[in-house]
Structure 1
Amino acid sequence: MVTLLRKIRRNLLSQNRFNKYMLYAIGEIILVVIGILIALQINDWNDQNKKSDLEIKILKEINTNLSFDLEEIREDISLMDSIEFAAIDIVDYISNHEIPSEKFNYNVAKMKVAPHFNPNKSGYELLSSKGVEIVVNDSLRIAISDLYESYYPYYNQYEKERIMFKSNLIQPYFLKYFSWMSDLDKYFLTTLNCTQDDYLKLKNNDSFIKLIRAIDFENKFVRLRAKTMEEKIINLKRQISEALKNN
């Protein structure tokens, strides 16, 4: 093609047909410009396709991460439900019984449990490294950022406060009246043991009931936040699924 164009150019010049040569030269320039524009357009299409493929890959990974997060937060909520029921049983039992029981000891052991939510962030970390703007849907991009940059850290702060509450106040108090015991048959793999004398001390000590009620209140408060987290995860998963269907 290039050889043909050169031949035409030489023939026009040799025949002194300058006007036709100029028209030909202009046409050749236009042709070159069109070729460049087409090449740029193809490159742009390729870049857009690569970005779209990467967006889909990242959204799928985030969605998988969220599935694990949803499973974990629901397990934590279930544990907090168990703690709430145990607190009710403890208050009722110690008010109506004169000797400790195995169930009473195990329920008290549940009071020191602090479920910990550890979200999976590999998908979001990949998105952050590539630039969050790769998610073209504005509302989806904002929802993803809100969950990982606001709601997850916010919930994590409550967990830290709960751990400090249980380690600094609850466990030292329990150590005065209970002995820790390993029990592989129990869900938490541990239980407590309270002697008859220590049980009667607890029964006649209002501070124990106050502490159990404080644990119950704190547990309900964190559980409420966990339910909010569950809802946020479900909503984000739905948004991502809709976005993936449209790609």
Structure 2
Amino acid sequence: MLSIPLLLIHKPLPNIDKNILELKGKNWKKYSFEFLSIFIAVISAFALNNWNDNRKDKKAEQKILIEIKNGLEKDLEDLKINNKGHKRGIKACQFWRDVIQNKEVIIDSVQLRFVELTRDFTSLQNNSGYETLKSKGLEIIENDSLRSKLISLYEYDYYTLRKLEEEYEEMQYQKNYFKDINKILAPNFVFDKKGNLINIETPIKLNKSDKNILMSYLMKIELNRRMVLTFYKKTEKKINNLESLIEKNIKR
């Protein structure tokens, strides 16, 4: 058997490996560039979409805050009406206390003072803006302090006012006090032909029991009205501060 020298068999191969490497290098650069282009395009699209979402959220936030601010202005008007009504109710208590004690009073206001004594009030709030905010998500308000104050006002202060005015038993004056007060005082009233209360027969005729019942009612009504006035004052202050904060946020 012939023996062929290994040297003759192992001939140098063409530069295939080198060409393959060069081709792979070119392809890698090409693919890297394409990948980078796609990556940049995706990131840019994501950033643009995020920017558009943020802009939409900002517009929605501004629109909701304007709606809330307009509602707060109307709420202040309602608060002032109730505030004034409770103050007049306190004056009515003082008026009838003087009457019971046979002190001198201005009789011209007797009918009005009698009506104001046990007048009740309702607490009305414009919640549409806040309800819109809740439907959109409270987190749409970027300012943490503003968001917290809004929640506090609508979820606590307004809720408390409604409870006090409409459900708190002691403050349902017409229901709890009018019938008894009227029964004791009415025998001393003087009405004109049209049915208007125009005067009181003095000295007013009351036994000790009726007098003490009336005085205790007047004390209770006045104390409760003063209590709710304190809460109205605090709520009014919160609304004014909230309006200022909303105004700054809108301008910003």
Fold match (TM-score > 0.5): yes
Report if aligned partners of 2:108, 2:199 keep a CA contact under 8 Å in 1: no
Distance in 2 between residues matched to 1:211 and 1:72, nearest whole Å: 27
Q: What SS does the corresponding residue of 2:110 show, helix, strand or coil?
A: helix
Query: In the alignment, is residue 170 of structure 1 matched against residue 177 of structure 2?
Result: yes
The aligned residue for residue 148 of structure 1 is 154
Instruction: Spell out, residue by residue over 1:94-136, the C-alpha distance to the aligned partner (whole angstroms, 9 max, x if none).
Output: 3236999452232122111112221110010001111101101
Report if aligned partners of 2:100, 2:211 keep a CA contact under 8 Å in 1: no
The aligned residue for residue 225 of structure 2 is 219
User: Which structure has the larger Rg over C-alpha atoms?
Assistant: 2
Distance in 2 between residues matched to 1:208 and 1:44, nearest whole Å: 68
Correspondences of 1:130-149 after superposition (within 5 Å):
130-149=136-155
Distance in 1 between residues matched to 2:61 and 2:126, nearest whole Å: 18
Alpha-carbon offset, residue 245 of structure 1: 1.6
Instruction: Spell out, residue by residue over 1:168-195, the C-alpha distance to the aligned partner (whole angstroms, 9 max, x if none).
Output: 3212213424399xxxxxxxxx975787
The aligned residue for residue 27 of structure 2 is 21
Alignment RMSD? 3.0
Distance in 2 between residues matched to 1:240 and 1:103, nearest whole Å: 43
Distance in 2 between residues matched to 1:103 and 1:202, nearest whole Å: 25
Distance in 2 between residues matched to 1:92 and 1:170, nearest whole Å: 18
Greater CA drift, 73-82 or 120-129:
73-82
Correspondences of 1:178-217 after superposition (within 5 Å):
178=186, 196=201, 199-201=204-206, 205-217=211-223
Stretches of structure 1 lacking an aligned partner (at least 5 in a row): 1-15, 181-189
Alpha-carbon offset, residue 49 of structure 1: 0.3
Query: In the alignment, is residue 59 of structure 1 matched against residue 65 of structure 2?
Result: yes
Distance in 2 between residues matched to 1:36 and 1:164, nearest whole Å: 64
> Match of 2:248, as an amino acid?
E
Alignment identity in percent? 27
